A and B are shown apart, each in its own frame.
Chain A
Amino acid sequence: MAPTAIYISHSDTNVIAATPIKGPALAIGSLSTAEDGKYQSLITDLEETRKVEKQLLDRLLDRATALSPSSFASVHVILSPSDYEGLAQRLSELLAQLHSSLEPLGTLHIQNVSYSLPNLHSELTLSGFTVLSSAEGTVIAQKPAHIVGTSSSLNGSVTALPLRRRIDPERKASKKALWTLSAPATPPIDAESLLTDADRQRPAACEPISGSNTPRRKKACKNCTCGLAELEAEELAQSKVVLLNGAESGGAVEVLQSDKERLIAAAAAAPKATSSCGNCYLGDAFRCSSCPYLGLPAFKPGEKVEIDFGMDDI
């Protein structure tokens, strides 16, 4: 049972009202729900905390009465299943009237509806409502604060941005409560439907750097499945490698990787090589691409470099 309201006198600030006073509501019933008492029940409940305007469905549909725009904080509809079924054809008309009669952020409560109106959700959305919940035969929808569908993003140049709405603390509190609900019962939306066709595009292969003649190479991904990693490995195997021939003059020989094995044995017997080029000692960052010391760490100039031609044990 809903508690009765307590009227506070201004001098009595310690007493808190059991329920706050709410904005005006519109209650819509039909002959059926007037007869079976459901309509009266709804009105009695609502009147405990607010002013209630009463209208019958037929009068609204016949335009015998007009509703003033933005005048209700909430609209409550209670009809019989056959009323709802009969309403199907004219649903969008009714929703349009209710939409304009609601204040921004006002809520629409359609009770006792169950499965009688299969197109209810889509009609609500089309009429500009946001469906908040649908449970136990009651659908609750809301009129948005601003028109749905516009966004104010800055594309390209920076333009003047529209003023922010003044923050409404009560609305803020109810949004916060909704967001922090710990076990919401609603199913998730289909996220992928949010993406536009443009979103689903991806960039084409990178263009070569303008002005450069060297061909740009696409790197193989870590888990390459297209074969590029194999190609890179093959390239490496086929590439030339420079072997020091171990002579005092520090000369170098260019051979294929595949010949390397054969030469390793020969080189193993050769005396150690010495540094002959001015920059070789600096490290790979400063060596030219034909430097015989590529792949070796930096060393001190004049230092004897030991090149270990031991068998690869990997």
Chain B
Amino acid sequence: MHTHAANNHERAITILYATETGNAQDLAERLAHHCRRLQFTPTVFSIDAYSPEELISETLMVFIISTAGSGKEPRTMSTFWNMLLRSDLPSDLFEDLDYAVFGLGDSTYEKFCWPAKLLSRRLASLGAREILPRGEGDEQHHLGSDGAFGPWLLKLSKVLLHLHPLPEGTEVPPGDTLPPPRVTLTPGVPAEDIPEPLFKDKRYHLATIKQNDRMTAPDWYQDVRHLEFEFDEDVYYEPGDVAVIHPHVPAVDVESFLSSMGYANIADEPFTIEHNFPDQSLPDHLPETATLRQLFTRYLDITAVPKRSFFSTLRHFTTDELEREKLDEFLSEEGADDLYDYAQRVRRTIREVMEEFRSAKVPKEYVFDLFPHLRPREFSIASSVLRNPRRAELCVAIVQYRTKLRIPRRGVATTYLAALQPGDKIPVGIKKGGLITLPKDVHTPVICIGPGTGIAPARAIIEERTRQGSKENTLYQGCRSVSKDQHYRAEFEALASEGKLVYRVAPSRDSPEGVKRTYVQDLIAEDAKRIWELVGESGAWVYISGSSNKMPAGVKAAIRDAIREYGGKSEDEAAEYVATMEREGRLIEDCWS
């Protein structure tokens, strides 16, 4: 938790963001730049890194709040939000606070921007003063959230300058000037053995690849790997926890990128990095000294699909007339669809874009302002420490697909993992998943539903439970074909023959032509009587893991039907029963998109 002295400075402004995929963070940082132009002193925090106690001392704040799932607040915001919901707070608690709120949402959802709306109302009810109507960015707008953010920012600027007028004789610099870079680079001396910055973080351990085997049939379209990491010390994790991987961009791509940027002759010169503006973030675990090659391999993401803000920053650096015109078109309202078709729709990468905008001359000091951070990726751990406290195993589907672009699209983290060989050593982080807890009593039955790579946390749960002596385990595994992608089949069949697992498999594409496909929810429906006995009579816990599309809803519906039919309940009572299970933590979903 980050604590800071309350801003006593007259023109201080605190910006908090609650982000899901980084959009709210982007807007927060752009807002901070803007505030600096208006001669304010911004500080920016992720809402979960901000000490809520400080709120009582604040006088000027802006909140940039994304919407998660179907209207809930982002997970990083829950602690802060729950503090605000206390019913013993007086209505003048925050009477010294001026604030503004901007929400990011998607109008296809009913609870459009609800976390932002709720925050705005709650702060007002506690005496704070909202200095302008809240802004609501909409993914469905043809400019995305920018459609609402631009105009809202202008209004906010007017109000801020009204409340805190500029000192005599000062002026605001015009809006489209390039802001100063967030770092200063000075030639540095390469340390002989720069320690891996990740190891300063206690969550990271050195792992040796023991195994990296393809589990799917060679003629199957999807490449799914079983990876085994061996650590040089005992580690601790529980089912549901994740391994954190920091990918490297392939060397050949970095090389061609450095050439096209004109950095080839300075690519391996070390620079010391000085952070000028703390409110403009730098990548996590950035070393103090690095070369451009290292930066574009590990810390900046040229494999990312560029957002609008990338193109508007790039505009400052393009020198060719044709390229500038094209960027102006892309950035205009009328050209927004064309920009979407060019970049997002076909998943064109930054590296590919830079090969088409060759006139761009980006001073090296601006690389942290133009290129997004290369984020680490998390993978559910598919094993239990009880089997081996120095091992972690993953089940990873290598991401590869085609769009209209001739060259196939590849996921940067899975491509990195796919290329690792036994004997390679990489830093791997272990992070709490936070969603899955096991019942305290090992004899409480457990039902896991894990189609596709959702089998990873399910395998972890089953491995942990069987090691603890439990036999009351049921697994519903979904796959496409028993001969092609039924992961860990031999293991589960062995456990079943030992009486430690009831193992049910739904291979959706193995049905003959014309016969309806079987999914996990269909098996649950077949087993409805047993499902009721486990859930309703023996208090079983249920874990659903995997793709968050229609599967979880389908599974819950099948469970509800089993409760209705064999538990003797009405439709409403059965639905309430399932809702209660979720509230009590007996039905847990660990799903990803």
Q: Does A223 contact B (CB under 8 A)?
A: yes
> Is the Cβ of B402 less than 8 Å from the Cβ of A283?
no
* Complex Cα gap A218–B352 (Å): 26
Known pairs A146-B92, A202-B110, A225-B550; A152 contacts B82 (CB<8 A): no
> Is the Cβ of B352 less than 8 Å from the Cβ of A194?
no
Q: Does A1 contact B (CB under 8 A)?
A: no
Q: Does A188 contact B (CB under 8 A)?
A: yes
* Complex Cα gap A282–B323 (Å): 10
Q: Does B406 contact A (CB under 8 A)?
A: yes
Chain B residues within an 8 Å CB radius of A192: 118
Chain B residues within an 8 Å CB radius of A132: 88, 90
Residue of B nearest to A187 (CB): B87
> Is the Cβ of B355 less than 8 Å from the Cβ of A202?
no
Q: Does B79 contact A (CB under 8 A)?
A: no
Residue of A nearest to B406 (CB): A295
Chain B residues within an 8 Å CB radius of A314: 221, 400-402, 408
* Complex Cα gap A4–B108 (Å): 65
Q: Does B288 contact A (CB under 8 A)?
A: no
Chain B residues within an 8 Å CB radius of A298: 355-356, 358
Q: Does A2 contact B (CB under 8 A)?
A: no
> Is the Cβ of A151 less than 8 Å from the Cβ of B130?
yes
- Smallest distance from the beta carbon of B148 to chain A beta carbons, Å? 9
* Complex Cα gap A180–B110 (Å): 35
- Smallest distance from the beta carbon of B140 to chain A beta carbons, Å? 6
Residue of B nearest to A294 (CB): B404
Question: How many chain B residues have a CB neighbour from A under 8 Å?
Answer: 76
Chain B positions 95-150 with a Cβ under 8 Å from a chain A Cβ: 95-96, 106-110, 112-114, 117-118, 121-122, 124-125, 129-133, 136, 138-142
Known pairs A153-B133, A178-B90, A297-B352; A206 contacts B56 (CB<8 A): no
> Is the Cβ of A194 less than 8 Å from the Cβ of B129?
no
**Chain A interface residue number, banded:** 35 or more
Q: Does B342 contact A (CB under 8 A)?
A: yes
> Is the Cβ of A158 less than 8 Å from the Cβ of B159?
yes
Which of A179, A219, A222, A312 contacts B53, CB < 8 Å?
A179
Q: Does A64 contact B (CB under 8 A)?
A: no
Chain B residues within an 8 Å CB radius of A158: 158-159, 162
> Is the Cβ of A218 less than 8 Å from the Cβ of B140?
yes
Chain A positions 145-194 with a Cβ under 8 Å from a chain B Cβ: 145-146, 148, 151-155, 158, 161, 164-165, 167, 175-176, 178-180, 184, 186-189, 191-192, 194
Chain A residues within an 8 Å CB radius of B82: 188
Chain A positions 187-244 with a Cβ under 8 Å from a chain B Cβ: 187-189, 191-192, 194-196, 199, 202-203, 205-206, 209, 212, 214, 216-219, 221-223, 225-226, 236
Q: Does A83 contact B (CB under 8 A)?
A: no
Which of A184, A194, A205 contacts B118, CB < 8 Å?
A194
- Smallest distance from the beta carbon of A279 to chain B beta carbons, Å? 9
- Smallest distance from the beta carbon of B569 to chain A beta carbons, Å? 27
Q: Per-position contact with A for B206-243: 1 when CB-CB < 8 Å, else 0? A: 00000000000000010000000000000000000000
Known pairs A151-B129, A194-B118; A206 contacts B548 (CB<8 A): no
> Is the Cβ of A186 less than 8 Å from the Cβ of B117?
no
Q: Per-position contact with B for A302-314: 1 when CB-CB < 8 Å, else 0? A: 0000001000111
Q: Does A285 contact B (CB under 8 A)?
A: yes
- Smallest distance from the beta carbon of B81 to chain A beta carbons, Å? 8
Which of B108, B110, B159, B340 contacts A221, CB < 8 Å?
B108
- Smallest distance from the beta carbon of B442 to chain A beta carbons, Å? 32
> Is the Cβ of B163 less than 8 Å from the Cβ of A161?
yes
- Smallest distance from the beta carbon of A300 to chain B beta carbons, Å? 11
Residue of A nearest to B407 (CB): A297
- Smallest distance from the beta carbon of B350 to chain A beta carbons, Å? 13
Known pairs A153-B131, A189-B85; A285 contacts B326 (CB<8 A): yes
> Is the Cβ of B140 less than 8 Å from the Cβ of A133?
no
* Complex Cα gap A175–B58 (Å): 13
Q: Does A284 contact B (CB under 8 A)?
A: yes
Chain A residues within an 8 Å CB radius of B346: 295
* Complex Cα gap A148–B92 (Å): 9
Chain B residues within an 8 Å CB radius of A105: 92
> Is the Cβ of B92 less than 8 Å from the Cβ of A285?
no
> Is the Cβ of B117 less than 8 Å from the Cβ of A199?
yes
Q: Per-position contact with A for B62-84: 1 when CB-CB < 8 Å, else 0? A: 00000000000000000000100
Chain B positions 171-229 with a Cβ under 8 Å from a chain A Cβ: 221
- Smallest distance from the beta carbon of A167 to chain B beta carbons, Å? 7
Chain A residues within an 8 Å CB radius of B355: 283, 297-298
> Is the Cβ of B340 less than 8 Å from the Cβ of A212?
no
Q: Per-position contact with A for B315-327: 1 when CB-CB < 8 Å, else 0? A: 0000000110010
Chain A residues within an 8 Å CB radius of B88: 132-133, 178, 184, 186
- Smallest distance from the beta carbon of B271 to chain A beta carbons, Å? 29
Residue of A nearest to B322 (CB): A286
- Smallest distance from the beta carbon of B261 to chain A beta carbons, Å? 14
> Is the Cβ of A175 less than 8 Å from the Cβ of B90?
yes
- Smallest distance from the beta carbon of B394 to chain A beta carbons, Å? 22
- Smallest distance from the beta carbon of A137 to chain B beta carbons, Å? 17
What are 14 A-B pairs with beta-carbon distances under 8 A? Answer: A175-B56, A195-B114, A196-B121, A203-B107, A209-B333, A214-B337, A221-B139, A282-B356, A283-B356, A284-B348, A285-B342, A297-B355, A298-B355, A314-B221
Beyond A191-B122, A195-B117, 16 additional pairs, beta carbon < 8 A: A144-B90, A148-B91, A175-B90, A176-B57, A178-B90, A179-B89, A179-B93, A180-B53, A188-B85, A203-B107, A203-B112, A203-B141, A206-B140, A214-B337, A216-B142, A313-B221
A residues touching B (Cβ–Cβ < 8 Å)? 105, 130-133, 142, 144-146, 148, 151-155, 158, 161, 164-165, 167, 175-176, 178-180, 184, 186-189, 191-192, 194-196, 199, 202-203, 205-206, 209, 212, 214, 216-219, 221-223, 225-226, 236, 282-286, 294-298, 308, 312-314
